[in-house]
Amino acid sequence: MESLDMLANNIANSGTIAFKADREVNTLFREELPLVERQWTDFTQGMLLPTGNALNLGLSGPGFFALNSPTGIVYTRSGDFQISKSNQLQTADGYTLRNVLDQGKPIVVDPTQSIAIDKGGGVQQGGQILGQIEILGVPTASDTLSKLGKTYFALMDKGGPVVKVPETEVHQGALEQSNVPVGDSAVRLIAVMRQFEMLQRALTLGAEMNKRAIDEVARVT
């Protein structure tokens, strides 16, 4: 059931911007029955798809956009941003991009002017620097980050390590796609469903055999 839920969720989010697939580590029970020991998140790079939208930002490299949320700093690879009513760069959920040049405060822009964002995350309008998008990396992300919804992540340990990742580049006018391998996931889903059905039949058969054994014992006695 855990495998089915995980695979179904992966496939359902194969079209979600920057969604990161969940995977599992299996162990064996009685040398034949695979059991899910733990799940982990695959943070491999998704394909960058050009959109032409200046507020769409894709990352290449291991970093995350750092965001201000009501519960503290959260992280995402999803760069589908917009301008809020207060002229701040934010996600659709209202989480604001953090400005390195202003102690993590939101980046304020002029909605009437075009926005230029360079590969280092610098935000400019009319030749004037408005801010620097905070992009951070998390060592051993699969062990230290937990999912918040579909595309947000939070540190399991609030005091956990985050590092600068200068090798990560921002690509304006592009979005990172999901890294779910749809074909492989579909094949795996079918295999798990067949295994699940086989185990159900085995349980049913075992229950029937136990009932017959009890009936036979009752007749003899």
Q: How many CB atoms lie within 10 A of CB 145?
A: 21
The distance from CA 42 to its chain's CA centroid, rounded to whole angstroms, is 8
Q: pLDDT tens digits, residue range 21-41?
A: 998 866 555 555 556 667 889
pLDDT of 3 reads 82
pLDDT of 50 reads 98
How far is it, in rounded angstroms, from Cα 143 to Cα 168?
Answer: 20
Q: pLDDT tens digits, residue range 62-90?
A: 999 999 999 999 999 999 999 999 999 99
How far is it, in rounded angstroms, from Cα 85 to Cα 189?
Answer: 43
**For the chain, what are the domain ranges?**
48-176, 181-221
pLDDT of 143 reads 84
State which residues of the chain have pLDDT below 50. none
Answer yes or no: pTM beyond 0.85. no
| Neighbouring residues of 138: CB distance < 8 A, sequence distance ≥ 6 | 64, 75, 144, 145, 153, 155, 160, 161, 162, 163
How far is it, in rounded angstroms, from Cα 90 to Cα 16?
Answer: 18
Angle between helices 2-12 and 182-220 (to 10 degrees): 150
Alpha-helical segments (H) within 25-65: none
pLDDT of 212 reads 75
β-bridge partners, 82: 90
pLDDT of 183 reads 78
pLDDT of 33 reads 57
